[in-house]
Amino acid sequence: MGELKKKLWISVLILAITIGGFYSFVKVNPPLGIGTLASSEDKKSVVVGIGNKGFREVKIVDVSVNNNEKPSKTKAQVSNALQGFIITDDYNNKESIKYGFKNIEDVTIKVGTFSSSYFKKLDDGTATKNDKIYGISVIHNEAINRVNIKYSYLGISFNETVFLN
């Protein structure tokens, strides 16, 4: 019976080390990549291009601005590499609708959508309308100097802060 107990403890220890190592690896190599960063002249409307360089989907949980303030409006842009993003203060106007605005909670950032991959396709001339790009579009009643993005990946929570000049 003692030998069985010893093998069980060794198995539990190996499992704990493996899970701990995997968790540490993921925390040190976060999957969300920041690409395009653009704003209106008054900095009250901002677009942060994001992409997933991980191996599973990323889910945006929350977006805040400046000192963790809730923005006036927040949407995700699900556009394509040929079209790009739009900076707007109205998600429903005729021009904006073409850029695929969706509620943040309804969007999952697919694997392989980090900006370097679609920039390469644009340079090569191989980009198509099927190459999805993702952006966080934020509108606030005062100038935005930073965007805080909380997201989930493999059940692990992450925070990414993007500073605007």
Return the pLDDT at 118: 60
Q: What angle do CA 34, 37, 40 make, to 5 degrees?
A: 155
Percent of the chain having pLDDT more than 90?
51
> Does 36 or 120 have the greater pLDDT score?
36
Return the pLDDT at 120: 65
Average pLDDT value for residue range 58-68: 96
CA 138/CA 161 separation, integer angstroms: 14
pTM of the model: 0.82
Mention every residue, 6+ apart, whose C-beta is less than 8 A from residue 37. Answer: 46, 47, 48, 49, 162, 164
pLDDT of 127 > 80? The answer is: no
Residue type, 117: S
pLDDT digit string (tens) for 21-59? 877 777 778 899 998 899 999 999 999 999 999 889 999
CB distance 112 to 31 below 8 Å: no
Average pLDDT value for residue range 125-136: 78
pLDDT digit string (tens) for 76-118? 999 887 788 999 989 988 888 888 899 999 999 999 887 666 6
CB distance 46 to 164 below 8 Å: yes
Return the pLDDT at 67: 94
pLDDT band at 128 (very low <50, low <70, confident <90, very high): low
